[in-house]
Amino acid sequence: MSDGARACDLDGILAGDDIEVVESEVREPGYTACLVRPVPDLPAGIMLAPDQSRGRRRFSVAHELGHYHIPTHQGIATGWCGDADMTAGAHGGNVREQEANDFAAELLMPRHLFSQDARGRDPNFREIGELAQRDMYDVSRTAAALRYVEVTQSACSLVCARDGIIEWVAKSKDFVYRIPWRGDPVPAESHARAVFNGEEASEEAEPLDPYAWLEIEQRQPVELFESTLAIPRQSQVLSLVWVVSEGDWV
């Protein structure tokens, strides 16, 4: 597929719904995004925290559109949605926030279309970056990586750590290995640790000792690769941890 029609027209949807998007003048308003439901004589609005990258901003808007449109969210105060709400699902979290994220992911990266584009791409942030580009899905690399892990046939995990501590982990369906979990420090031998220590992140998948990430008791015939992405503004490092087992080489 290369018809170019991938990024959805959020502005068109907002205009159709008569929803105005307003950026907060307060630097840290306490939310990432917030839906203001319509009242008589006043249309609905979406308030956004300032300084969000274009991709994050699009996901934040799509998430609030989820709260606006999902029937079971009607009449319920969904409140202020923070950064953790925008990734609810990857780490459990409130069901309504997960539903809003599912809505946003499907709106911005329709599963059927995205699966076709992800096929044949290895788990690394160079490939993810191509999917996230403005002329593709026009989303953040975090959002594209989360969607990739949902649809890929590769055995991989997306790990998000802040200040050296794992915040959430999303595994692909074929990733059957135990790895450190939420609240654990990133492993000492991982590339993520090296990035926290000041080394450059690598968007290409680099090989490393499987024991660096995998909690396996016996050495298994697998190869491990890790690609990293630093997000300094949020003190985060994302890792794509990819396991290739012997059978995959045949």
Rounded CA-CA distance 86/203 in Å is: 23
Determine if residue 163 is left, alpha or beta; phi over 0 gives left, psi from -120 to 50 gives alpha, anything else beta.
Answer: left
User: Which span sits near Zn ion by CB under 5 A: 76-84, 176-184, 188-196, 213-221?
Assistant: 76-84
Rounded CA-CA distance 216/214 in Å is: 6
Phi, psi of 158 (to 5 degrees): -105, 125
- Return the number of the residue (86 or 208) whose C-beta is nearest Zn ion: 86
Residue type for position 159: V
User: Which span sits near Zn ion by CB under 5 A: 73-81, 123-131, 184-192, 228-236?
Assistant: 73-81
CB of 93 to Zn ion, least distance (A): 10
CB of 147 to Zn ion, least distance (A): 18
- Return the number of the residue (85 or 127) whose C-beta is nearest Zn ion: 85
Find residue 48's DSSP bridge partners. Answer: 23, 33
- Any contact of residue 49 with Zn ion (CB under 5 A)? no
Instruction: Please give the size of the binding site for Zn ion, defined by CB under 5 A.
Output: 4
CB of 232 to Zn ion, least distance (A): 25
User: Which span sits near Zn ion by CB under 5 A: 36-44, 52-60, 92-100, 184-192?
Assistant: 92-100
Rounded CA-CA distance 242/204 in Å is: 11
Helix (H) or strand (E) segment spanning residue 239: strand 236-245
- Return the number of the residue (168 or 242) whose C-beta is nearest Zn ion: 168
User: Which span sits near Zn ion by CB under 5 A: 21-29, 81-89, 194-202, 242-250?
Assistant: 81-89
Rounded CA-CA distance 60/189 in Å is: 34
Per-residue binding string, Zn ion, 97-136, x by CB under 5 A, is: x--x------------------------------------
- Any contact of residue 85 with Zn ion (CB under 5 A)? yes
Residue with tokens 């907060």: 24
- Any contact of residue 81 with Zn ion (CB under 5 A)? yes
User: Which span sits near Zn ion by CB under 5 A: 91-99, 143-151, 165-173, 178-186?
Assistant: 91-99
Specify the length of the chain in residues: 250
CB of 193 closer than 8 Å to CB of 173: no
Question: Residues 75-78: contacts with CB within 8 Å, 24+ apart?
Answer: 78/35
Binding residues (CB under 5 A) for Zn ion: these are: 81, 85, 97, 100
